[in-house]
Amino acid sequence: MSDIYSDTIVAISTAMAPSGIGIVRLSGPDAIKIADRVYVNPKGKKLSGQNGYTIHYGNVCENGEVIDETLAMLMRAPHSYTGEDTVEFDCHGGVLATKRILEAIVHAGARPAEPGEFSRRAFLNGRIDLTQAEAVMDIIAAKNDHALRSAQHQLKGSVSGKISDIRQKLLHETAHIEAALDDPEHMSLDGYVEDMRQVIMAQRKALERLLESADSGKFMTEGIKTVIVGKPNAGKSSLLNLLIGEEKAIVTDIAGTTRDILEEQINIKGITLRLLDTAGIRDASDVIEKIGVERAKEQVKDADLVLYVVDGSVALDDNDFEIMKLIKDRKFVVILNKNDLSTIVTSEELEQATGTPVISMSAKHSEGIDELEDQIEKMFFHGGISFNDEIYITNVRHKTCIEEAIRSLGLVLQSMDDDMPEDFWSIDLMGACDSLGQITGETTSEDLVNEIFSSFCMGK
């Protein structure tokens, strides 16, 4: 494979924090030659004389001074992540040591890499397509098991395989039309239009199915924005503590908010719930919290999921009915709490009032949590997440391209129905192929490629 780039890049690929190991990576046509300028082997061995996929002990030095011990890992083109000659120096993970090594390698002739530049080279050298490059970043950013597995699937080519398959079928139809238009004496579309319509409709259906997976995909990777609402004393804070107790929560301040709003993340069944405004739940001294309705009004707006907690030992009142009204257009779970006490509110009464099954719980005694988790999984992932035959679209860019392709195919079908000339069909068919090609990178403009890779992290 010919090198697209003539320069060699270098970056610290591990986090800039004290750690067990730090990795400085070089890639490019002169990677091995440059590495040899800083690598000193106790027996005088040179990396340039070694085979790919070998590891060599030594020191990284500059001007005769040892910066750190190293294990140098050698990969020769095209058998590396980037498809180029690559050397990775595994060093002790000190911030200063790795920075000094980076500087020494730059002095020896390499250029500091830009964010995502290794992956960009992998893409431009044809090692991976765009969805796979994006999957690499998704693996790094994965918040839970499902996000990780979905990204791994995508890295193996599940998304690009499916998209390419649809695109090939559409390209075949486009070619057929173009051939008939170019050579009307020998090629005709007579008797073929119905077949073509069937193919286009089937591919549009396949794309619509992929689009349906995008919501689940978003929740899988970004987590489900969840709020807990209910009257004071219903047990919101107890439920929050119970949920958080399941796994240590990550507490984050939400930037740009004037109120003390906290978000805590928990993973249940491999799904991330982002519990919003947890400070508001804990701080019940707020005047507006007195009835629970005002706070609910604010919060429900932003939520993907509402957990509505009802105290079963207190009769339903107007505040409850008001909360029910607020949440009726959202995805919500009704929790009948305090089932360890003698109850006034029954499940049947609450089910009737909310029109949905009720989860009976005791937040205080940790009862009912499994049912709650099952219910949430069912609501968002249609009864479980399976990666065997399902592909989840988790990337907003892919989703937009699929929407575009569906729109273009709609226009093709419309042109067919309206008996428009065949070149109208082919323009929109090409439009659909173009949108799909942007997902895998086959038809992506250089600007877009640059934009995508610039959001990658340094050293990747």
95: its two tokens: 């911030």
Q: Is 188 annotated as a binding residue?
A: no
295 binds ligand GDP (CB under 6 A): no
Order of strands, edge to edge, in the sheet holding 9-12?
A: 39-40, 54-62, 65-75, 86-93, 19-27, 9-12, 111-112
Q: Is 279 annotated as a binding residue?
A: yes
Q: Which of 66, 193, 288, 341 binds ligand GDP (CB under 6 A)?
A: 341
Smaller CB distance to ligand GDP: residue 238 or 435?
Answer: 238
364 binds ligand GDP (CB under 6 A): yes
Q: Is 256 annotated as a binding residue?
A: yes
237 binds ligand GDP (CB under 6 A): yes
Long-range interactions of 141-146: CB distance < 8 A, separation 24+: 141/221, 142/221, 143/221, 143/222, 143/223, 143/265, 143/267, 143/272, 144/220, 144/223, 144/267, 144/270, 144/271, 144/272, 145/267, 145/270, 146/220, 146/270, 146/271, 146/385
Burial class (CB in 10 A: 0-12, 13-18, 19+), 418: exposed
DSSP 8-state assignment for residue 186 = T
Smaller CB distance to ligand GDP: residue 308 or 456?
Answer: 308
276 binds ligand GDP (CB under 6 A): no
235 binds ligand GDP (CB under 6 A): yes
415 binds ligand GDP (CB under 6 A): no
Cβ 365 to ligand GDP shortest distance, Å = 6
DSSP 8-state assignment for residue 306 = E
Pick the piece of the chain touching ligand GDP (CB under 6 A) from 76-84, 333-341, 409-417, 448-456. 333-341
Smaller CB distance to ligand GDP: residue 174 or 237?
Answer: 237
340 binds ligand GDP (CB under 6 A): yes
Smaller CB distance to ligand GDP: residue 94 or 232?
Answer: 232
E strand or H helix at 89: strand 86-93
Q: Which of 164, 337, 415, 444 binds ligand GDP (CB under 6 A)?
A: 337
- Tokens 């505040």 label which residue? 319
Smaller CB distance to ligand GDP: residue 212 or 286?
Answer: 286
Binding residues vs ligand GDP (CB under 6 A): 230, 232-238, 281, 284, 337-338, 340-341, 362-364
